[in-house]
Chain A
Amino acid sequence: MPLTATLPKTNEHGFYEMRMESIGGLGANVAGKIFAEAGVLGMGFNGVNFSSYGAEKKGTPVKTFVRFCDPRQHIRIAAPVEFPHMLIVFHENLLATGKALTHGMAHDTTVIVNSKHPVDKVREVVGMCGGGLGVVDAIGIAVDEGSRPNTVLLGAMTKASGFMDPEAVRRAISHNLAKYPRMLPGNLKAFDRGFQELELTEYACSIKHPPEPPPRFVSPLGYENAPMGGAITNPGNTMLRDLTPSRTGYIPQFFPEDCINDGHCEYTCPDYCFTFEKGIDRKGKEGMINLGIDYRYCKGCLRCVQACPTEALRKAVEDEDYVREHTVPQLGRKEW
């Protein structure tokens, strides 16, 4: 069987390259595997796929890479993709993490974002000049179809690529879900919808600017100033982190008027998001008072909602404005 398609563009090493930006748990790793497998075994390209692995943690940022090339080319490179032809953002919360996410974008990079927002707004956040931009509500479709969001994005990626055979990708999905036959129909439906519903908007860029140079991370703590032996001499500094991207759609909302300050939310919260302070409660008694949640650290597990005896904590769909207005920052408080 001859090669069924040719790559629309390749870099100087002969590769069509893709980078998926995601967080652990959204299935980017599996999506990369399926997509690459479809290209290699289904369509005859040579290819490689890998992710930026760390420890097995849900909610931490992860990058997944795919490269395709001519079947006769032997693949040697093992380093990450820096200048993707296609960049896929698996969750829009990641866009808040800044430039590192979209580095290496060129004037003709195709970008796919999982978002509910309109394409022009997403373009603004991504900071795109030219190239193709496709926005798909992968979580919404996944909820409708009982699938995972990654199969929706696989559909979008297939469409946006212009060269991937949807049948090859569908076969790779079926193969990878062979162990879970009940999940297959929903995921294939989700794939089809991702494929059909993706609308790619092409933006023409007036200047054909070279891609943003990728920041190869240079640690500000080097061998001349890092404390001896790898010690961390300013511990407690994880407070500077922002774990907002770990959330995948839900937050606890706090209603102080229903709160009896019993402390069980603080007792059960894995992420230490609650602040209690000495004060006078609504009955005029002195005691510890719940001031609320620091959403900077909240991963949306909703244990506090479960623990609350009075419905002062309720599950709600995440809303950026609500979070901004209601967060009770802990950083800088005197108890730390």
Chain B
Amino acid sequence: MEANVNFDPAGICSLGTVTQNLDFKSGNEMASLAARQIDYHIMGFYPITPSTEIAEGIDEAYAQGLCNTHMIPAEGEHSAAGICYGASTAGGRVLNATSAQGLLYALEQLPVQSGTRFPIVMNIVARAVNGPLDIRCDHSDLMFMLNTGWILLLARDPQAVYDMNIMAPRIGEHEDVRLPVAVVYDGFFTSHQKRRVAYIVSDSDVRAFIGPYRELQSSVRPEKPITIGPYMNDPDLINNKYQLHLAMEAAREVIPQVFAEFGRLTGRHYPLVDAYQTDDADAALFLLNSAAEVAKDGADNLRAQGRKVGVISPNVIRPFPAAEVQAAAGNLKGLVICERADSYGAGGGNLSFEVKAALQDLDGNRTRCLSRVYGLGGRDFYIDDAEELLGLGLAAGEAGKTSEPGKADEAGAAGKKAEPREPGTAGMAGEPREEWKTGGPGEAGKAADGGQPVTELRSFDYYGANTGDPGLKLEHVTKPIPADKTRQSLIKVEQDPETGRLKVRTMSVRAMTALPKRIAPGHGACPGCGIFPNLNQFFKGIDGDAVVLFQTGCGMVVTTAYPQSSHRITYIHNLFQNGGATLSGVVEMYRERQRRGEIPAERQLTFIMVTGDGGMDIGMGSAMGAALRDHGMIIVEYDNEGYMNTGDQLSYAVPLGTKTTTSHIGPVEKGKSFQHKDMPQIMAATNIRYVATSVEGLSTDMVKKAAKAQWYANHGHLAYVKLLSTCPLSWRSKEELGTEVMRAAADCNFFPIYEVEQGFTTINYDPEQRNRKVPLADWLNMMPRSRHLTSPDYRQQYEELEAEIERRWLRLKEQAASERL
């Protein structure tokens, strides 16, 4: 909502020279806005919470004709980084955005980007690194960036996200620098919190500040051929890296210049290190991003009580502003370096050592430094937490710095207690509070006198971990399923002696209600979710003991929210780049242990990987690797046509023209721009023995296919089954119409029901023969997200989609009719 420029009671828009306006937006929205104004040539991306909205916002702007940025939805972050790298060599501005596991998956590409010196900008929306999986903020992903050769700008609030994004290309593209730049801000705390922000009204003012892109080297100038990325061993690589070092040193000069110029333009001045109330301070906290702002409120509270405390927080950590840290912290008596990430075994997070090293270089420095890991996995940081940690800093300062290395702990323990705050000063009295605020192992449970926590001045500790309730008994509400309970004499799989293919006899739907469920009720899926009827029906066809591996996705998230799990049978999660490989490892270890006699050879165990269609995008290579090696396992894909766990981004399985949050519709963009992926045919091309598709509502079709898949898996072969699965939330279809929407997808031939067994194709359900064929529009109209495709504006997309469906269907019929295809 654009406010009247004049209606700015605090006058924040008129502090600089450029025309600005107020808005109320989140960090992700501000990153999108900056990108739209900069008008990047290319954005390669792969959705991951909490950074996804950046790409969504730019795609939406593109659809409306507000920018020209060509959006490329990669099939994974590794490819997204590759797309960005390639695009940057071709001489234009490039943007990327990611978080956590996505950053780590892309990591291999990042030194390539810096080492060959092609500037791009990437927003890193900081989030905890798996495992176990946590989608909320800490800095464990960011810390992997420290050695990549990227400039790292930090943005503490949505305003800074915008500002740093405007300055980032200017810094990275500087001719003395030519390095990729990351803008790093806190997941959810900054990415999703909406704040009052000022932005530059005119895109041309933004572009004037940044200047045109200057191409120094290009992969697409045939008249000026160059070799990018040679084979370079010793003695040369060290010189290449020294050049990178020099570029980073040049950035040390360039960044303050750009910050200063931006400050004049907008009135917002960024120092390299934000030193709050440190001039006369006895103690301070050093922390990054959003928590640093919270800590300032804590410092104010203690200042009001006469305690001299401050807060130090850098706006840049690569290059590391050592001189500015020295200036801010050099005269402190106590400094607590608070880190949202541990460098396990190092005795502090990474920045603890950089801060300590900077102070070590300062002659005569006596600052006592403590390192505290806090706020992991998005744990909230309250004002009173900051006060608690500042108290620790004051106590450390009073205890003084030990001159003997390694004696810090003893000096501390013999030193003073922290000044305990009066309980309830921040209105926070109460039992759970007290237990919580006493912090981590070193500070928890050591209440020696009168319930007040003894604060040991350990040089390193965790703040906020808790021991747990020793009286807690984990309640077992379900029992393991005895293997014979799932054996049903009425489900029989037999090999046809003539063809070698399988025949299955099933029981009635009614009789199958006697089968125990491998998933317990109480999972957190949306109402009407298709995943769970699918898994219920599929598992009915599985006989005996089974182990499941779920790749990341809705099915995984809603069944395993700690400390609860819906899985009555053994379950493993791995990230969806790698489920196929992981289950391969499980299967082969099981077989090897059987060969060695460690597990009885006759013991039957079925291994099943469960994935969404998103998992079969990013994890397709891993799944195909398992298929090509033909490990004895089942891969079952619930295809709900999109990345629904992150909010309806396009998957490659989505039909042409469909509206998703990364394929908007508008004057310029017409929904998804390419045809749906044909995963069953891709898997069939690996020549595995069994590939099948099914939907719920076709009586026992799915049960039979599960039984066949199990037979092949237990005979040492990989079987793949794809199930279409309704998503009422994102398709916006009616919750009660799951079966009907599935049936329509099959009846319009979008999702043909067939199997490819030992190379032979059989169509199990032919809507034409059964007189149930319906037009494509009938199915699309059941899903509001697809309804636009039946309007005249989308006739071209509709016809192309219809023609592709028909082409695939006719080919399938030919395959089914032929013994050879």
| Interface assignment of A53: CB less than 8 Å from any CB of chain B | yes
Q: Is the CB of B196 within 8 A of A47?
A: yes
Q: Is the CB of B526 within 8 A of A59?
A: yes
Given contacts A57-B558, A335-B516, contact A219 B466 (CB under 8 A): yes
Residues of A within 8 A of B430 (CB): 213-215
Q: Is the CB of A271 within 8 A of B9?
A: no
Residue from the set B296, B433, B735 with the largest chain A CB neighbour count within 10 Å: B735
Given contacts A175-B1, A223-B466, A270-B529, contact A218 B524 (CB under 8 A): no
| B:290-316 near A, CB below 8 Å | 290-291, 293-294, 296-297
Q: Is the CB of A222 within 8 A of B465?
A: yes
Q: Is the CB of B523 within 8 A of A238?
A: yes
Q: Is the CB of A263 within 8 A of B293?
A: no
Q: Is the CB of B737 within 8 A of A306?
A: yes
Q: Is the CB of A236 within 8 A of B567?
A: yes
Residues of B within 8 A of A220 (CB): 468-469, 472
Given contacts A239-B477, A267-B533, contact A48 B470 (CB under 8 A): no
Nearest A residue (CB) for B528: A301
Q: Is the CB of B532 within 8 A of A270?
A: yes
| A:250-296 near B, CB below 8 Å | 261-264, 266-274, 276, 278, 287-288, 290, 294, 296
| Interface assignment of B448: CB less than 8 Å from any CB of chain A | no
Q: Is the CB of A80 within 8 A of B131?
A: no
Residues of A within 8 A of B530 (CB): 270
Determine which of A41, A272, A335 lies in contact with B536 in the assembled complex, contact meaning CB atoms within 8 Å: A272
**Stretch with Cβ within 8 A of B (4 or more), from A69-77, A86-94, A135-143:** A69-77
| Interface assignment of B601: CB less than 8 Å from any CB of chain A | no
Residues of A within 8 A of B24 (CB): 36-37, 40-41, 47, 49
Q: Is the CB of B472 within 8 A of A237?
A: no
| A:151-204 near B, CB below 8 Å | 171-172, 175-176
**Stretch with Cβ within 8 A of A (4 or more), from B221-229, B644-652, B710-718:** B644-652
Interface string of B188-202 (1 = CB under 8 A from A): 111011111000000
| Interface assignment of A317: CB less than 8 Å from any CB of chain B | no
| Interface assignment of A207: CB less than 8 Å from any CB of chain B | no
| B:30-45 near A, CB below 8 Å | none
Determine which of B9, B49, B479, B645 lies in contact with A2 in the assembled complex, contact meaning CB atoms within 8 Å: B9
Nearest B residue (CB) for A315: B736
Shortest Cβ gap from A269 to chain B (Å): 7
Residues of A within 8 A of B10 (CB): 46, 71-72
Nearest A residue (CB) for B478: A236
Interface string of B270-300 (1 = CB under 8 A from A): 0000000000000000000011011011000
| Interface assignment of B3: CB less than 8 Å from any CB of chain A | yes
| Interface assignment of B586: CB less than 8 Å from any CB of chain A | no
Determine which of B193, B508, B648 lies in contact with A78 in the assembled complex, contact meaning CB atoms within 8 Å: B193
Q: Is the CB of A50 within 8 A of B293?
A: no
CA distance A117 to B578 in the complex (A): 52
Q: Is the CB of A218 within 8 A of B436?
A: yes
Interface string of B179-217 (1 = CB under 8 A from A): 000000010111011111000000000000000000000
| A:301-336 near B, CB below 8 Å | 301-303, 305-307, 330-332, 335-336
| Interface assignment of A243: CB less than 8 Å from any CB of chain B | yes
**Stretch with Cβ within 8 A of B (4 or more), from A107-115, A119-127, A227-235:** A227-235
Nearest B residue (CB) for A47: B196
| Interface assignment of A44: CB less than 8 Å from any CB of chain B | yes
Residues of A within 8 A of B23 (CB): 41
Q: Is the CB of A303 within 8 A of B739?
A: yes
Shortest Cβ gap from B685 to chain A (Å): 33
Residues of B within 8 A of A71 (CB): 9-10
CA distance A238 to B520 in the complex (A): 7
Nearest A residue (CB) for B729: A58
Residue from the set B132, B196, B479, B739 with the largest chain A CB neighbour count within 10 Å: B196
Residues of A within 8 A of B527 (CB): 58-59, 246-247, 270, 299-301
Residues of A within 8 A of B513 (CB): 263, 266-267, 274, 276, 288, 290
Residues of A within 8 A of B696 (CB): 267-268
**Stretch with Cβ within 8 A of A (4 or more), from B340-348, B379-387, B797-805:** B379-387
Residues of A within 8 A of B73 (CB): none
Given contacts A13-B383, A55-B557, A287-B510, contact A213 B429 (CB under 8 A): yes
Interface string of B96-137 (1 = CB under 8 A from A): 000000000000000000000000000000000001100100
CA distance A268 to B740 in the complex (A): 11
Nearest B residue (CB) for A238: B522
Determine which of B1, B296, B526, B565 lies in contact with A37 in the assembled complex, contact meaning CB atoms within 8 Å: B1
Nearest B residue (CB) for A216: B436
| Interface assignment of A33: CB less than 8 Å from any CB of chain B | yes
Residues of A within 8 A of B350 (CB): none
| Interface assignment of B628: CB less than 8 Å from any CB of chain A | no
| Interface assignment of B562: CB less than 8 Å from any CB of chain A | yes
Given contacts A40-B196, A219-B468, contact A263 B566 (CB under 8 A): no
Determine which of B6, B433, B465, B646 lies in contact with A56 in the assembled complex, contact meaning CB atoms within 8 Å: B646
| B:358-400 near A, CB below 8 Å | 380-383
Q: Is the CB of A41 within 8 A of B531?
A: no
Interface string of B681-704 (1 = CB under 8 A from A): 000000000000000110000000
Shortest Cβ gap from B139 to chain A (Å): 15
Q: Is the CB of A1 within 8 A of B294?
A: no
Determine which of B4, B193, B519, B529 lies in contact with A49 in the assembled complex, contact meaning CB atoms within 8 Å: B193
Shortest Cβ gap from A38 to chain B (Å): 9
CA distance A229 to B194 in the complex (A): 35
| A:4-61 near B, CB below 8 Å | 13, 24, 33, 36-37, 40-42, 44, 46-51, 53-60
Residues of B within 8 A of A224 (CB): 467-468, 470
Q: Is the CB of A211 within 8 A of B427?
A: yes
| Interface assignment of B517: CB less than 8 Å from any CB of chain A | yes
Shortest Cβ gap from B136 to chain A (Å): 8
Given A76-B294, A226-B563, 15 more pairs with CB closer than 8 A: A40-B24, A41-B22, A51-B192, A54-B135, A75-B195, A79-B294, A216-B433, A232-B563, A236-B567, A238-B520, A263-B508, A267-B533, A296-B522, A302-B528, A303-B738
CB-defined A-B contacts under 8 Å, sample of 6: A1-B7, A47-B195, A77-B383, A213-B427, A213-B430, A225-B469
Please give me the 3 A-B residue pairs with the lowest Cβ-Cβ distance, nearest first: A222-B468, A236-B478, A213-B430
